[in-house]
Structure 1
Amino acid sequence: MTTRWIFLIALGYYIITNLQWYHYKISRVIFKHHKQKWHLLYFVLPIICFIFLPHDIYFYLLIYFYLIFFGYWIFNLSNKLIFTGRVLRFFGLYIIFILFNELLLLSIAKPSILIQIVYLFPLPISLALSLVIEKILLNRYKKVAQDKLESMHNLIIIVITGSYGKTSLKNFLFQVLQESFKVYATPRSVNTLTGIIADINQNLSPLNDVYIVEAGARGLGDIQEIIDLVAPQIVVVGKIGAAHIEYFKNIETIYKAKYEILESRRLQRVYIYKDNIQPTICLVPIVNFPQNISNIEATLNGTDFDLEIQGEKLHLSTPVLGAFNAINISAVIAISKDLGMKNESIIKQVSKLEPINHRLSKIVVNDKVILDDSYNGNLDGMLEAIRLASLHNGRKVIVTPGLVESNKEFNVALAKAINSVFSVAIITGELNSKILQENISNPLKVILKDKSNIEGILKSITKPGDLILFANDAPSYI
């Protein structure tokens, strides 16, 4: 019985871990998982063996082998299961149903295929019931969040979306506006409906007068749900491109999903990246950015640029790296001026902007320059990081899994850019390993399937004076 219990718990652990990775969307776990072989090794084959193998010593040895193998898999995950309230509620239900099942089948001594199948019933039952309970709880929490927002009559809500740079734009806007407003922004990369509901209920203060929300999407309707909840007066649409195209299938669907942001019932002003395809219908003024930006100089020490806005020419300097961030900052400046901030305050805040962790942030360790761009997963951003790396006088090393949720063409373009700049290319993960190996020719190539070895590899092949670029970082389930 104990062995069976541990086996059943392991199956539940595998399922809930994958659901947490894919935002509890069963269809995404089944059809969008990047390592389908894991489903076969850790779920399908073990269940087949559990049902059909005779219960002799070899059966139990196989179960024990699976549990050891499964424990090793858990140990090596870069994104381990987080025991949130939702996960604990699932396991609570699951254990109750396993116990009920055991009591129900207690009098049946001889195992059979049918009995083995019945032993598995608690898993689908617990999953289905868990989804129902979580939906009920979400609707309750959503109502609490809506009531809280409606009670804050003077709160200005700004929602930011786009394919690239959402988190950076959000953080830059927060840093500039905090000079003149009591501003709060969704933390880290929180950009889903459930995350935003929790953030409103737990973190948004009644004393705040500006709330900045990042809105992400993996399908049609995701942003619409967020907009229906927060009803922003101001929305920002950054650059739209092919990020997450494997979910959307084509660029037209991406635009449709992103422009759901225009459906806010309280919409007053819209800011849209100027090179995007513009919406055909919008009932409020649209401000395109950047307008009249010039003299962009982006180096490893920071970014300078000139911006003409509302008839005035501003010169701006920021420690933030990347020419594309001049575009993000131009949107921040346009919004800040429309909210009444003075040029002097804006220029001062821009000069003090702090780089966002893991988004083209620079640190120096043991005389080695490290460009940490591990949270950037788009081609334009990675090419800019490579251009900046090329400005370094010493030897250059790149650590990358390539582009995730992208296509072969973009990964080939990335490989060609790597060829022209780096002495060593460390390729992590399996997803793009073949494409990158085939198209990277000049640098020394190091193939690293297990990222836990990366520190030792870097110590052995780098020396003082080197630059190391971490370009994107895919979790182990990718």
Structure 2
Amino acid sequence: MTVLTSAIVAVAALVAMAGASHVLLHVFQQEHYEPRRLYLWVSQAYGVRLALPEAGLVLVASIASALAADANGALGVVLAVTLLALAARAARMVWSREQIKPLVFTPRARRLFGLQLALAAIPLALVVALGGDGIWAPGVVGAVGALELLLAPWLLAGVANTLLRPVQKADNQRFLNRAQQRLRDVRPLVVGITGSYGKTTTKACVTAVLDLLGPSYPTPASFNSTLGVVRAINEGLLPQHQSFVVEMGAYRTGDVRELCELVHPRVGVLTAIGPAHLERFGSLDVTEQAKGELADAIPADGGLFVTRADDERTLRVARTRAAGRVLLFAPAPHPEADLWAEDVRMEEGRTRFALVVRAGVAGSEEGRAEVRARLLGEHNVANLLAAAAVGVGEGLALNDVARALGRVAPPDHRLAPIVNRAAGVVVIDDSYNANPEGAAAALGVLRDHPAARRLLVTPGMVELGEREQEENRRLGALAAEVADVAILIGPRGADVAAGMRAAGAPDERILTLPDGPAAHAKLAELTRAGDVILFENDLPDVYA
């Protein structure tokens, strides 16, 4: 009976490991399978949230099973089965939990998950076999299982990930070769877009403009890593596509260069250089170096590099690293700009402005065209201008470019307006991500939108390194000028609240809630006709 008890305890420990692994693998996948990033999350959250309770349960219950087995074999089995049931229930709750960006069991994820469980099962099986009918065998099995739970992050990212690296490398190379052949076969005009923010919206704008030349294919969703772009090519790039618009994400120096070596862009767009993901880059100088790799890749013969004229960092990249033709844009008249906007205003749910092109860029004389865009906010004017510069640079007529920009729909969760006419409520969904500039722009949209009351719902901003608290408090100061009610979530929301109070906002306008569900319940209780609600940032599961 003791052997049976030990075996059931071992299975219970593996079930608990399966639950923990789902969370760890979820975070690991969101962090692009970077062990260092997973270990950072572990140091901040794993022990308290997951490992210690699970490990403690396995250890205590297994010792109790051992004691019971010594006195009464059947009772020991019953306690072990109870432990298994509790572990199964906990694992089921973990697997079915609400996920902002759900874990996707790709082949890589399945391999990691399976190998981690196999690595955990081997010591447990050995202890069961060696322990035999020993009185303390179930307790020893439980102790091994508890230790494995505590070491699960390193078992996943350190051992399983390392052992599978050759397999993953071979897989990646096969998909990479297929993508490179597809690019050689289709030979589209490739436009690379990078920057600290505005990439996805600019991608949508550029795609709409280049559709004037024939079908244009943008990388879907957030497929902006090398493997994501490889997948986008293999699954979506077709012979009829005349252009391929590639969003290029970067978390470290070399990421953009690697993407450029894959797709060889002839046109590059640098949207902005700012403190987004500063925690990863370390400094804005490093961010500038990383984003500037796109300019390095644009060919001198026939290449075009587009970026902002009104930012010293983007301007420096254009002046020092771009060998081909350069077009500079600005959301207002600027002495360095080739394209700019005048008379920007929000009317009838659209952003309207005059698109102006300097003489000599689109002909011998200065050109002007009216843009009526469905994108909200003055900050989106910059994204529209970047796309206009690409179109003008490729020889498209200015009026045609302006009409194409008017057809761009807001990408999901990026200042997308949702109108509930029955309730009399407007939601501005800017929940995809938040950075200081984008959050300030979103508050500007909230400020300018007609409303009886203006509500802000945010958990604050993340990945800003040492500036995180400072930037969240600055966001609070801006919110104090705009929001009639602010629903602020979690510890970073508390920093936003501190910024609001420092700016003179009274406590009755500031509500701090521990998590998303509590915030949504409070919002449902408060909302009334005439409200305009801005959802700013929805923290990825790594931070939620």
Superposition TM-score, scaled by structure 1 size: 0.90
Corresponding residue for residue 84 of structure 1: 106
- Residue number among 163, 182, 185 corresponding to 2:196 in the alignment: 163
Pair 1:330–1:24, CA change in 2 (3 A): same
Counterpart mapping for 1:427-438 below 5 A: 427-428=488-489, 430-438=490-498
Q: CA deviation at 1:126?
A: 2.9
Corresponding residue for residue 281 of structure 1: 321
Q: Is the 8 A contact 1:223 1:260 kept in 2?
A: yes
Pair 1:445–1:300, CA change in 2 (3 A): farther
Q: CA deviation at 1:380?
A: 2.2
Counterpart mapping for 1:419-458 below 5 A: 419-428=480-489, 430-440=490-500, 441-442=505-506, 444-458=509-523
* Distance in 2, Cα, partners of 1:99 & 1:166: 44
Corresponding residue for residue 296 of structure 1: 344
Q: Does 1:383 align with 2:431?
A: no
Aligned to 1:405, the other structure's residue is in SS state coil
Deviation string, structure 1 residues 63-115 (Cα, Å, up to 9, x no partner): 86666556545525434422222222223334555565566555312444899
Pair 1:379–1:95, CA change in 2 (3 A): closer
* Distance in 2, Cα, partners of 1:373 & 1:322: 12
Corresponding residue for residue 331 of structure 1: 386
Q: Is the 8 A contact 2:12 2:88 kept in 1?
A: no
* Distance in 1, Cα, partners of 2:477 & 2:355: 33
Q: Is the 8 A contact 1:367 1:465 kept in 2?
A: yes
Q: CA deviation at 1:152?
A: 2.6
Pair 1:462–1:113, CA change in 2 (3 A): closer
Q: CA deviation at 1:197?
A: 0.9
- Residue number among 310, 315, 320 corresponding to 2:370 in the alignment: 315
Corresponding residue for residue 264 of structure 1: 297
Deviation string, structure 1 residues 192-238 (Cα, Å, up to 9, x no partner): 11111111111111221100000011111111111111111111101
* Distance in 1, Cα, partners of 2:265 & 2:52: 45
* Distance in 2, Cα, partners of 1:270 & 1:18: 36
* Distance in 1, Cα, partners of 2:122 & 2:441: 58
Pair 1:372–1:296, CA change in 2 (3 A): same
Counterpart mapping for 1:80-119 below 5 A: 80-97=102-119, 104=126, 107-109=129-131, 110=134, 111=137, 112=140, 116=144
* Distance in 2, Cα, partners of 1:374 & 1:472: 4
Corresponding residue for residue 229 of structure 1: 262
* Distance in 1, Cα, partners of 2:425 & 2:57: 52
Q: CA RMSD in A?
A: 2.9
* Distance in 2, Cα, partners of 1:114 & 1:313: 75
Question: What letter corresponds to residue 435 of structure 1 in structure 2?
Answer: D
- Residue number among 17, 24, 37 corresponding to 1:28 in the alignment: 37
Question: What letter corresponds to residue 84 of structure 1 in structure 2?
Answer: T
Q: Is the 8 A contact 1:52 1:113 kept in 2?
A: no
- Residue number among 433, 458, 469 corresponding to 2:534 in the alignment: 469
Corresponding residue for residue 130 of structure 1: 164
Corresponding residue for residue 354 of structure 2: 306
Question: What letter corresponds to residue 135 of structure 1 in structure 2?
Answer: K
Q: Does 1:349 align with 2:387?
A: no
Q: Is the 8 A contact 2:428 2:534 kept in 1?
A: yes
Q: Does 1:38 align with 2:38?
A: no
* Distance in 2, Cα, partners of 1:393 & 1:101: 63
Q: Which moved more, 1:168-177 or 1:72-81?
A: 72-81
Pair 1:472–1:94, CA change in 2 (3 A): closer
Q: Does 1:174 align with 2:207?
A: yes
% same residue:
25
* Distance in 1, Cα, partners of 2:280 & 2:528: 41
* Distance in 2, Cα, partners of 1:284 & 1:313: 25
Corresponding residue for residue 23 of structure 2: 14
Q: Does 1:214 align with 2:275?
A: no
Please state which structure has a larger fraction of its residues in helix. 2
* Distance in 2, Cα, partners of 1:343 & 1:8: 60
Question: What letter corresponds to residue 437 of structure 1 in structure 2?
Answer: A
Q: Is the 8 A contact 1:299 1:322 kept in 2?
A: no
Pair 1:147–1:476, CA change in 2 (3 A): closer
Larger radius of gyration: 2
Question: What letter corresponds to residue 56 of structure 1 in structure 2?
Answer: A
Mark the runs of 5 or more structure 2 residues left unpaired by the alignment.
1-6, 67-78, 331-336
Q: Is the 8 A contact 1:35 1:477 kept in 2?
A: no
Aligned to 1:170, the other structure's residue is in SS state helix
Q: Is the 8 A contact 1:157 1:231 kept in 2?
A: yes
Aligned to 2:535, the other structure's residue is in SS state strand
Question: What letter corresponds to residue 31 of structure 2 in structure 1?
Answer: Y
Q: Is the 8 A contact 1:239 1:276 kept in 2?
A: no
Pair 1:351–1:80, CA change in 2 (3 A): closer
Q: Is the 8 A contact 1:300 1:388 kept in 2?
A: no
Pair 1:37–1:131, CA change in 2 (3 A): same
Deviation string, structure 1 residues 279-309 (Cα, Å, up to 9, x no partner): 2233222221133422111357211112221
* Distance in 2, Cα, partners of 1:48 & 1:221: 43
Q: CA deviation at 1:36?
A: 1.2
Pair 1:67–1:38, CA change in 2 (3 A): farther
Question: What letter corresponds to residue 345 of structure 1 in structure 2?
Answer: D
Q: CA deviation at 1:417?
A: 1.5
Q: Is the 8 A contact 1:300 1:321 kept in 2?
A: no
Q: Is the 8 A contact 1:160 1:215 kept in 2?
A: yes
Q: Is the 8 A contact 1:303 1:321 kept in 2?
A: yes
Pair 1:37–1:351, CA change in 2 (3 A): closer
Q: CA deviation at 1:266?
A: 4.4
* Distance in 1, Cα, partners of 2:54 & 2:521: 35
